[in-house]
Chains A and B, each alone.
Chain A
């Protein structure tokens, strides 16, 4: 009978440990580098990396909340009275393709990529005063399938891995003055790895502050 109680106790402790790990309750002290972290915490950390890329000028300049795109690292309003227009592709006399070809035009300093266009307003990552939305708000928008063209986590990962206008951010070409445009703070490989971690963790979003 005594032996049976010890076996039961061990079994109980084992189950408790498994449940605790699954709930992300494993304790970590600060500065425990290399310690395995629970998936949700990993996911949130990975999302922070993803967010740092999404709000970089190469990405967020075309995710405006207004009727115009932005340009430059200072994210100023696009010159030449460019208008969002139907489908984010400009207006008949001045569509995006009026200047932006399917690849960068380094000799004239005009960036380009296949099907150059603005992200839909449902994918705005800024407010109407051109300030980037919070990490929590962008995360909610990106994961809302009613706003993101019905992309689940797997589709979001594929989008970040393969979409041509996403890839353009790491090959943005030269400015009109001949200097290179800046690129996002992570490499594309790091961005994809962070997205994968975030997706595998269930696309967790930070809590709004």
Chain B
């Protein structure tokens, strides 16, 4: 095949790379577990925005950071009013028959503020470095560290008390 002009073929390749990241975007979105914005809606909005701004992807450098950063902006806008109702969300019945462990994790996750959820999941599921997390969420690395610590401690206490409750039953 004849060589294509660099600028355009980069755009096409970028879209290919993005499409390979879709399963990871979905996993992350699923674990963020927002009742206000179902996981695949969040992924769809992210991909639409990515397609729209694909010409900026290369300037951003790290494609994964760029993509999860777009999702972060959409998620924060959708999740902001939700903070107050986190408990209600945790207690809300789910329509789909979800597995028990996921349900327990969702409940624990719902007790965290949106940004702590994001930090914990980017580190845990995406195995991002703290610098990458900082860039994705556009916050200082120090903030990433302190919130990661708080998120983990809250989740640990949540799961311990859930386990205790199950034993009592």
Chains A and B form a bound pair: no
